[in-house]
Amino acid sequence: MWVSLNLAWVGFGEGKFAKWRGWFVKISPDGKMEPFAGGLRSPAGYSFNDEGDLFYGENQGDWVGSGRVTHLAKGDFAGNPGGLKWAKEPNSPLKLSLEEIQDNGSPMFEAAKKNPKIKLPAVWFPHAIMGISTSDILQDTTKGKFSPFPGQYFVADQGQSKVMRMGLEKVNGVYQGFAINYREGFQSGILRERFGLDGSMFVGMTSRGWGSTGKDEFGLQRLFWNGNMPFEIDMIKAKSDGFEFSFTQPVDVNSVKKAASYAIRSYIYKYQHQYGSPIIELKDLKIKGVEVSADHKKVRISIDGIRQYFIHEFTLKGVLNEKGEPLLHETAYYTLNEIPAGPALVAAAPQDEIKTTVSARVVKNSLGYELGITGLLKKHTCSACHAKDSKLIGPAFTEIAKRNYSNQKILELVYKPNPQNWPDFATEMAPMSHVPKADVLKIAGWINSLRETEGLKNRD
Ligand code: HEC
């Protein structure tokens, strides 16, 4: 039996009072307990893949800049030193002390370079953008019954009541890969995923103790595939100078050859004793070359300035299939722990002058222009925590409107929230300075318009 043990809340003893808090332990049938790996904060689900490797889902907090999935081998240290007191025990597979860990707000990979016992995550799930509380992990072993992505992983999120997809590859012996949305809108916060005999997935849920987008206190729902093949990113693989995307359907070649079809940037988080982290070292990236496979189902891109260890975010906003349809989910996040060796791409630069065969209307929508407010709130994940009239994880927008902030002030608060303004809310809003200013101001104008309509209503 395998057991993952959470830490107590920061300031309430973390891992100090009970043995092996913050550790993964293995218990044999005759009752012998063997510590396996340390450095856990709030593990909320784990699983073994078909190669027998162990992965667990971690939640943002002290020493954890963002949610993530980490591969654990015996003696690994996953990053949170709260339980390191027990590393001194004679049967600990890990010898490490707090003093050996740097706490200066530089990224985790910098700390790991100095201390290789620190295990970097296989995949980061950017906080608030891609989930807010990573929980269970389940590899699709249903041989095509559950999803069109056999062998990939389905990672649940408690706070955002959704199931995300994770594709992994091993580069230089290290696990890494991407995360992308899969299915949202469950009734409560998902903590457990299991396959039924028919290859459907049962999800077990609760929102007791920690709020979730799904409003029910608990629930059990079944997720199954209707068999239709969506137009999706199937897999992303790292290349020596960029990435290779494979798709579930052939792409429209003109659309993938245009630089304007992609928005790419990379960033990372701080590694520090403080709770969470803003996005740091954000850099926009440009495509140098594009190559399409003969069957039009693979697209390799070379990029100026890929960075080892960073999260590479791709928004394939203009990529269309042969019918001119956009992707079901256009944004994916790849964690580049290792850059593989291999020849550079020799391909033409993107050709933005090429006329597309697609009608202007479709391109406009798929490029995300002129998104309505609902679209903006969804795109920037605000709607995961806020609704217009009702309290979710954050206050209703109509309540925020009553504070009489200027649009500029709202912008400042979105970039740098001030949780003291809302003492009744258990969760703090993470700084969202990655959302473009123009979009936040548009949302701010809309929030303030709710106040005016409220006023009018009151006068009636
Ligand atoms: C992970 C949940 C979450 C997400 C995502 C989120 N918020 Fe919030 N938001 C909160 C919570 C909780 C509060 C109240 C506590 C606080 O300010 O930390 C809040 C407060 C606010 C406030 C009031 C600030 C103040 O100090 O009065 C504004 C404005 C706001 N959010 C706008 C947004 C916008 C716009 C987005 C999307 C770009 C967004 N939020 C995304 C959870 C979230």
In a domain, 228, yes or no: no
The tokens for 436 are 């473009």
Token code pair at residue 412: 């400042």
Record the pTM.
0.76
Q: What is each CA distance from 416 to 126, 388, 432, in whole angstroms?
A: 17, 21, 7
**127-133 mean pLDDT:** 92
The rounded Å distance from CA 240 to ligand 1 centre is 39
Hey, whose CA ends up nearest to atom 6 of ligand 1? 382
User: Token pair 């009970």 is at which residue?
Assistant: 18
Instruction: Say how far apart CA 225 and CA 326 lie, in whole Å.
Output: 20
Phi and psi for 83 in degrees, rounded to 5? -110, 15
36 Cβ contact list (under 8 Å, min separation 6): 2, 23, 24, 25, 26, 72, 74, 93
Range of the domain at 415: 373-459
Percentage of the chain exceeding pLDDT 70? 94
Q: What are the pocket residues of ligand 1 if the criterion is a CB atom closer than 6 Å to any ligand atom?
A: 128, 132, 380-382, 384-386, 393-395, 400, 403, 410, 413-414, 417-419, 421-422, 425, 427-429, 432, 435, 440, 443
Query: Judging by beta carbons within 10 Å of its beta carbon (0-12, 13-18, 19+), is residue 418 exposed, middle or buried?
Result: exposed
pLDDT of 458 strictly over 60: no
In this structure, which residue's CA is closest to atom 41 in ligand 1? 382
Expressed in angstroms and rounded, the spacing between residue 24 Cα and the centre of ligand 1 is: 34
What's 305's domain CATH number?
2.60.40.1220
Centre of ligand 1 from the C-alpha of residue 382, in Å? 7
Same domain, yes or no: 377 and 362: no
Closest protein CA for atom 1 of ligand 1: 128
Domain closes at, from 223, 246, 274? 223
Q: What is the mean pLDDT of residues 432-439?
A: 90
User: In whole angstroms, how large is the CA radius of gyration of the chain?
Assistant: 23
The pLDDT assigned to 119 comes to: 98
Q: Are 396 and 390 in contact (CB under 8 A)?
A: yes
Distance CA 96, CA 377 (A): 44
Per-residue pLDDT reduced to its tens digit, 211-228: 899 999 999 999 999 999
Residues 6+ apart with CB under 8 A from 347: 289, 290, 291, 300, 302
Identify the CATH number of the domain in which residue 405 sits: 1.10.760.10
The pLDDT value recorded for residue 361 is 35
Same domain? 55 vs 157: yes
Burial of 374 (0-12, 13-18, 19+ CB in 10 A): exposed
Per-chain mean pLDDT for the chain: 91
Tell me the pLDDT tens digit for each residue of 141-150: 999 999 999 9
Looking up tokens 């190669």 gives 51
C-alpha 442 – ligand 1 centre gap (Å): 15
Pick the atom of ligand 1 nearest to 160's CA: 1
> What mean pLDDT do residues 409-438 have?
90
- What is the distance in angstroms between the CA of the first residue and the CA of the last residue of the chain? 65
Please give the full DSSP string across 426-443, using - where no structure is assigned: SSPPPP-TTS-HHHHHHH
pLDDT recorded at residue 312: 98
CA of residue 171 to ligand 1 center, whole Å: 38
The residue whose C-alpha atom lies closest to atom 17 belonging to ligand 1 is 419
The rounded Å distance from CA 421 to ligand 1 centre is 11
Q: For 88, which DSSP code?
A: G
* Six token digits for residue 228: 């239709």
Question: What's the pLDDT score for residue 374?
Answer: 83
CA–centroid distance, 186 to ligand 1, in Å, is 21
Q: In this structure, which residue's CA is closest to atom 37 in ligand 1? A: 382
- The number of distinct structural domains making up the chain is 3
Tell me if 167 is assigned to some domain: yes
CA–CA gap between residue 460 and residue 456 (Å, rounded): 7
- In a domain, residue 75? The reply is yes
What does the block give as tokens for 240? 């020596």
Q: Which residues contact 56 (CB under 8 A, 6 or more apart)?
A: 4, 24, 40, 43, 45, 46, 69, 70, 72, 78, 137
Q: Which of 157, 385, 420 to mutate to test the pocket of ligand 1 (most atoms within 8 A of CB)?
A: 385
Q: Kindly state the DSSP code that residue 175 receives in the 8-state scheme.
A: E
340 and 274 share a domain?
yes
Q: Best of 429, 432, 433 to mutate for ligand 1, by most ligand atoms within 8 A of CB?
A: 429
Statement to judge: residues 282 and 401 lie in one domain: no
C-alpha 429 – ligand 1 centre gap (Å): 5
**pLDDT-derived band at 38, boundaries 50, 70, 90:** very high
Tokens 């954050």 sit on residue? 394
What whole-number distance in Å separates Cα of residue 194 and Cα of residue 237?
27
pLDDT digits (tens, 9 = 90+) for 343-361: 998 877 887 743 333 333 3
Q: Say whether both 169 and 254 belong to one domain.
A: no
What is the three-class DSSP state of 100? helix
Over residues 158-180, the mean pLDDT reads: 97
Residue 452 binned pLDDT confidence (cut-offs 50, 70, 90):
low
> Which carries the bigger pLDDT value, residue 329 or residue 460?
329
Q: Name the closest-CA residue to atom 34, ligand 1.
A: 382
Do 94 and 237 belong together in one domain? no
* 332/380 same-domain check: no
Take atom 40 of ligand 1 and give the residue whose Cα is closest: 382
